[in-house]
Amino acid sequence: MLFVLLVIVFTCLYYYGVRTFDYWKKKGVKHDPPLPYFGNNLKQFMQQASMCMMATEVYKKYPEEKVVGFYRGTSPELVVRDPEIIKRVLVTDFNCFYARGFNPHKKVIEPLLKNVFFADGDLWKLIRQRFTPAFSTGKLKAMFPLITERAEKLQVLAEDIVDEEYYDVRELMARYTTDFIGVCGFGINMDTMSDDNSQFRRLGKRIFERNFRDGVCGALKLMFPELCKNLTLLSPELEISMVKLVQSVLRDRNYKPSGRNDFIDLMLELKEKGKIIGESIESRNPDGSKKIVELEMDDLLMTAQAFVFFGAGFETSSTASSYTLHQLAFNPDCQKKVQQEIDTVLAKYNNKLTYEAVKEMHYLEMAFYEAMRMYPSVGYLIRECTVPEYTIPEINLTINEGVKLMIPMQAIHKDEKYFRDPENFDPERFQDGAKEDIKNFVFLPFGEGPRACVGARLGQMQSMAGIAALLHKFSVEPAACSLKNLLPEPTGIVSEGFIGGLPLKLRRR
């Protein structure tokens, strides 16, 4: 009797773990055979490969397909390989794919994930419409003196380490970007430039560190979504730290704008305006008109925005700028061109980094774009189908609500079908005349469409300013331990990293 019971139990458990695995087979979509519960995602669950690495692997394995099936746990996903379908998902039919789908439980969302990056539906739309003005040209110009000040501090820090055998430029640029985000986001001198072990640098590292607890919780939420809906993707210590940080800043300002014109001030101004009101993207009135929805800007919602501004603001920019430096170290002819341009432009501005000066550094921008092509800070995009059924006309494939689409940007950026000699660092790809030949929707370092990165210009400006400041005084070259072909960090989730960092040797010019 006990044996029969065990057989029944294990049979039920088995079928629960494979219940969805006929989805792509029925639709005639090619895919690898999935494993019970794990699907095709075992290596990510075991922290042996990041989401970006998994997407790249699938992309390369099926070179003739426009789309490829994938199972993340028991959930069917679609890896999109075709630029026309990518355009449809990100832009043309955005209203059918407005969700990122990072929150499997629409009604149980972690407080810190209620931000403009992770939020979906009306929550995302209302936050986005109010925060877009924070990154206007006028705002960028107004905050650029803060970038200049931090860039000058970066030069001082570089002088302190120039005699060392090597230094991890990934960490160097993270200290620079963290310091900038601290002052322009919170009005706080985080002191990460002089103290590499400051509490803010530790907090920044923890946001993107994926330890055993984080890996287990993430896997369980995907494999057993209903049973594990109260598990958090983020460590509780992050919520405690961010709430404490934001509350201390709010108290210092007496919960009113201070005149600093930083990110906290912006949110306080939004709060003073009352509820955020706008048209719903999720639902309509019985007569078909767009429903009006509203959102209260409370302290916890402000903390969630501060969290993503802090985390994404320093991490993506430091990854992009440090990888640019890494490529310039291994391509000294390109580095020389960048330095000549920096010297020429800064001479016109009394050797002072200004918004206008950085905007004139066209070859530096080309080098930055080329580095972002080779290693985008965020190597993939995810969108979730938000309508009951959607048919992709290019391939006559119908998918259902809740199915996620993965766009493997890093793999597309390195596809020789779109970029000649993709492993070769060639900034000239992005010079006027040549960049127009790049096919649409195959170069997406900041995403595209209504959910493109809201802070893209700020991130690019602080990255280019940091690179310009460093290369104006110093040159970078490979150290004895530097690797030209880097090893990707398998525990990455959103942003990509490198095993062993990016060690380079600095030399005074």
Q: Answer yes or no: is 52 a known binding residue.
A: no
Q: What is the dihedral of CA 335, 338, 340, 343, to 10 degrees?
A: -120
How many other CB atoms are there within 10 angstroms of residue 7's CB atom? 10
Taking alpha carbons only, the member of 77, 38, 94, 125 closest to residue 408 is 77
Q: Which helix (H) or strand (E) holds 153?
A: helix 137-161
Task: Work out the angle at residue 378's Cα, subtended by the Cα atoms of residues 374 and 380, and round it to the nearest 5 degrees.
Answer: 90
Sheet containing strand 75-80, edge to edge, reads 67-72, 75-80, 404-407, 381-384
How far apart are the two ends of the chain, measured CA to CA in Å? 82
Q: Which helix (H) or strand (E) holds 37?
A: none
Residue ranges of the alpha helices (H) in 253-352? 263-272, 299-330, 332-348
Instruction: Print the SS3 string covering 215-238.
Output: HHHHHHHHHCCCCCCCCCCCCHHH
Q: How far apart are CA 174 and CA 87, in angstroms?
A: 33
Do 409 and 448 contact (CB within 8 A), yes or no? Answer: no
Q: How far apart are CA 309 and CA 52, in angstroms?
A: 22
For residue 73, the Cα-to-chain-centroid distance in whole angstroms is: 22
Q: How far apart are CA 372 and CA 401, in angstroms?
A: 32
Q: Which helix (H) or strand (E) holds 115?
A: none
Annotated binding site for heme: 453
Annotated binding site: 453
